[in-house]
Amino acid sequence: MISPELIEIFNKGARLAREGKSEEALAEFDKILNPSKERKDENKEKKIVITGEFLGVTMMRKAWILMDLERYEDAKKVFEDEVMEACLGQFEMGTLYDYFFAYGNTLGDLGDIKGMDDKLSRALGIASEKLGDRERCFQCWSNLLILGLKAKDWEYLEKESVNALTFAENTQDVVLRVKAAWHHALALNGLGRTLEAKEEAGVLLTFIKSIGVDEFGKEIEEFITSLGTKEDAKPSTKGKTKTKKGIKGKKKK
Give me the sign of the Cα torsion angle 176, 207, 200, 242.
positive
DSSP per-residue string spanning 166-210: HHHHHHT-HHHHHHHHHHHHHHHHHTT-HHHHHHHHHHHHHHHHH
Share of the chain above pLDDT 90, in %: 78
pTM: predicted TM-score of the whole model, two decimal places: 0.86
In whole angstroms, how far apart are CA 205 and each of 162, 226, 229, 242?
17, 15, 16, 15
Confidence of residue 35 (pLDDT cuts 50, 70, 90): confident
> How far apart, in whole angstroms, are the C-alpha atoms of residue 106 and residue 116?
8
Q: How far apart are CA 205 and CA 74, in angstroms?
A: 41
Closest to 216 measured CA to CA, from 185, 241, 194, 245 = 185
Res 5 pLDDT > 60: yes
Cα 249 to the center of its chain, rounded Å: 21
pLDDT at residue 29, rounded to an integer: 97
247 pairs with which residues across the strands?
242
Query: What average pLDDT does the segment 114-133 reach?
Result: 98
pLDDT of residue 228: 83
Give the span between the Cα atoms of 126 and 217, in whole angstroms.
Answer: 32
User: For residue 246, with 0-12 CB atoms within 10 Å meaning exposed, 13-18 middle and 19 or more buried, which class applies?
Assistant: buried
**Torsion of the alpha carbons at 86, 92, 96 and 99, rounded to the nearest 10:** -80
In tens, the pLDDT along 104-120 reads 999 999 999 999 999 99
Closest Cα partner for 228 from 190, 206, 198? 198
**Domain ranges for the chain:** 152-253
Q: What is the distance, to the nearest Å, from the Cα of residue 236 to the centroid of all Cα atoms in its chain?
A: 31
pLDDT of 249: 35
